[in-house]
């Protein structure tokens, strides 16, 4: 598996960790954008409910404050092309 890429294309530890954290921090889906009038990549820039629930349980409820803030600040899915709320 690791031999698929040459040494110049392999990710170092920092880049790998960054990609994993970005994957946890937002959700992706394909949705129809009324502004673009096409199916586009939609991004929801917050953690999934399962991740938030796990963090809330692990921190004995302290993470619920951050979860509520994220829910109010990022209300839903957005078009990756134009930024229109879907």
**Residue showing tokens 């110049």:** 8
15-60 pLDDT, tens digit per residue, is 777 667 666 666 778 888 888 888 888 887 666 778 888 889 999 9
* Residue-range domain boundaries for the chain: 2-79
How do beta strands 27-33 and 38-44 pair? antiparallel
To 5 degrees, how large is the angle CA 63–CA 67–CA 73?
Answer: 145
**Residue showing tokens 């990022």:** 74
Residue 25 is predicted with a pLDDT of 65
Query: pTM (2 decimals)?
Result: 0.46
- CB of 82 within 8 A of CB of 38? no
To 5 degrees, how large is the angle CA 51–CA 25–CA 33?
Answer: 110
Q: How confident is the model at residue 9 (pLDDT cuts 50, 70, 90)?
A: low
């Amino acid at each position: 598996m690791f031999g698929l890429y040459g040494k110049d294309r392999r990710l170092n530890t920092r880049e790998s960790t960054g990609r994993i954290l970005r994957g946890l921090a937002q959700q992706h889906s394909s949705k129809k954008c009324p502004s673009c009038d096409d199916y586009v990549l939609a991004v929801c820039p917050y953690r999934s409910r399962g991740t938030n629930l796990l963090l809330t349980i692990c921190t004995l409820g302290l993470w619920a404050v951050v979860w509520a803030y994220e829910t109010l600040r990022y209300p839903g899915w957005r078009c990756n092309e134009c930024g229109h709320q879907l």
